[in-house]
Amino acid sequence: MLALLLLLGVAIYWNTREGTKTAREVRAEEGYRAPGFTIEALDGGGVLDVGALIGQKPIFINFWESWCPPCRAEMPYLQKAYEEYGQDVVFVMVNPMTSDTLANAKAFLAEERYTFPVYLDDKDGSVMRLYRVGAFPTSFFIDRSGVIIARHMGAMSEEVVETLMKKIARP
C-alpha cells in the first residue's frame, strides 16, 4: 500500500512539474511560452519588440503574403478582429517576403484598406524560422501570460477568428 501511494505521489509530482515546465519553456507550440523577437514595421514606423510584450498583453501573430489566396480569404476577418480587439490585443501581421514584393504587399493593403499593423521579416526569414512556419497563412494566439493557446495553419473562418480572439482578449 505504501509503495502504491509513493508511486502515485511521484506520478502527480512529474505531471505537475511537466505542466509547469511547458508554461516556462520557450517554443513556438501550443502550451509553451512564445519566443520573442524584434521586427520592422512595413510603413517604416520603427521596430516592434515582441519579446518585451510577451507576458504583458495578448498577442496575435499572423504570417501571410499578398499572392496567397487563403491569406487573402481570411484578411477581412482579421481586419474586423483588429477593429474590435486592437485596443486589447497586439496584432503582429508578418509578411516574410519569401516570394512577395514590397510593392505588391503595399498595393494589396492599400487596395483593401487594411489598417492593422504590418511588419516585414528580415531578409533571411528569421522570425518565420523561429516560429517554424511552413505554409501561409499561419497564425498564433498568445494569451496575456505569454503562452501560445492556439496555432492555426490555413485560412480561418470568421467564427474561428472570433472564438480564438475571445480566448486571448477577455480572460
| Domain residue limits at 88 | 26-169
Average pLDDT, the chain: 88
Cα 136 → chain centroid: 13
Rounded-to-integer distance, Cα 145 and Cα 66, Å:
31
Q: Residue 137 falls within a domain, yes or no?
A: yes
Answer yes or no: is 161 within a domain.
yes
| pLDDT tens-place string over residues 31-89 | 999 999 999 999 888 999 999 999 999 999 999 999 999 999 999 999 999 999 999 99
Nearest CA-CA partner of 155 in 81, 93, 69: 69
Assigned C-alpha cell, 78: 482579421
- Name the residue type at position 171: P
User: Is residue 34 in a domain?
Assistant: yes
Q: What is the biggest distance separating any 2 CA atoms in the chain, rounded to whole angstroms? A: 72
